[in-house]
Amino acid sequence: MPKQVKTLPDPVLMVGLKNIGGNFSLGKEEMSMLDFGITQPIPYPKKLKLLEKISEKEAEAVSEELKAVVFEVISELKIEYFDYYYLEKSIGLLEKTKNLLEEIEKIAKTKYEVGLGNQQDIWKAKLEISHLEERVEVLKQMEESSLAKIRALLNLEQNFPLGKPSDFDLTEFNLDLNSIYEVAKNSPYLKIFEKQKEKSSLDLSLSKLSYYPDFSLTIGYGNRGSLDGVWSLYFGVQIPIYYKSKQDRYVSQMDATLSSKKMEFENKKREIEGEAKRIYIEIETTKKLIDLYKNSIIPQAKNTLNTSMYEYSVGKVDFLTLITNAVEALDYEIEYFGKIANYQKAISRLEGLLGSYFGKEEIKW
């Protein structure tokens, strides 16, 4: 497109007839002739170069739009993948805890049979097992929905089989806020507005050249029948005498458009920086919570559960305490994997926003 814009405007072909008197007089009268001519418009110097640059900026803006779409789709795909990972881990933990509660139910039955427990403990265990089964079914439904979105993003048939998500190392994220702002300058979402602003600046420059005349060159030939033909050459100049109602308004309009594009660019820049800051805070907060769950909360919950398992078997704690500790340990682990998924999803959102990748993790099936 830029090279096409740089070429001269299309020439105009003209055909006409000049005739003296009421009867056809070609070849009889010197001024009667069949005219053929071609006119080539010639814009004022620099206009074609500016039009080429304007076209380049339009193409660059479209390229940035395409880049933004690619990053957005990849970001959405990774977010769905990490949702799928979280759901699969949660289902596995629920199944594991269900097996544990079934073992606890057996212990409760044994204690009841020897007169050291009561039947209420057995029914309580069955109720908790049923509740876990309900949670599993709900998560499986959510998992199918997540898989459907993944297939759609990958343009796959909905019956295409997808494997289980693999474990992965957390993406290292060591950027500070100022570094993120620097990366944000190259965000395709911001670049779109930057290219539009640059195009508007060129539009304004082009509008100012509209005060200068364009030219035209016309070559003609008059066929006079049996008489000698006539050649003609014309050089035309377009005179902008109506500049008050045309060129002045044109320049004012382009100037206003440029001001608007500058404002849109600054607004978009602030919007991207604000969203990037929110995501950055989420990443840093979630990273700390992951460490807290991994090194403190989950080990303590597991130790509490193991202790209560032993103490229940020897009659030192009641059944309700044991069940409560088992469910709490489960919920803490599920929350832990939820934090991992949220951390990765936040990084994926930031990647989509800034048009840059921060990790080397692979999506495996």
Q: What is the pLDDT of residues 166-217, one digit of tens each?
A: 888 999 998 999 999 999 999 999 999 999 999 999 999 999 998 889 999 9
Average the pLDDT over each of 23-27, 59-63, 245-249 and give the range with the smallest value: 23-27
**299: number of CA atoms within 13 Å, CB side?**
6
Q: Contact at 8 Å (CB) between 240 and 210?
A: yes
Least confident of 89-98, 113-122, 135-144, 328-337: 113-122
Summarize the confidence of residues 152-156 as an average pLDDT: 92
The model's confidence at residue 6, banded by pLDDT at 50, 70 and 90, is: low
Q: Is the pLDDT of residue 146 over 90?
A: yes
> Is pLDDT above 60 for 296?
yes
Amino acid residing at 295:
N
CA distance 182 to 190: 12
Q: How high is the pLDDT of residue 363?
A: 42
Give residue-wise pLDDT tens across range 15-29: 888 887 777 777 677
Q: What whole-number distance in Å separates Cα of residue 3 and Cα of residue 331?
A: 63
User: Does residue 33 register a pLDDT over 90?
Assistant: no
Amino acid at 176: D
Res. 365: pLDDT tops 50: no
Distance CA 250, CA 207 (A): 6
Q: Is the pLDDT reported for residue 103 higher than 50? A: yes
Name 105's Cβ contacts closer than 8 Å, sequence gap at least 6.
122, 125, 126, 129
pTM, entire model: 0.82
236 confidence band (pLDDT: 50, 70, 90):
very high
Q: String of b and e for 226-259 (b: at least 16 CB within 10 Å)?
A: eeeeeeeeeeeeeeeeeeeeebeebbeebeebbe
Q: What's the length of the chain?
A: 365
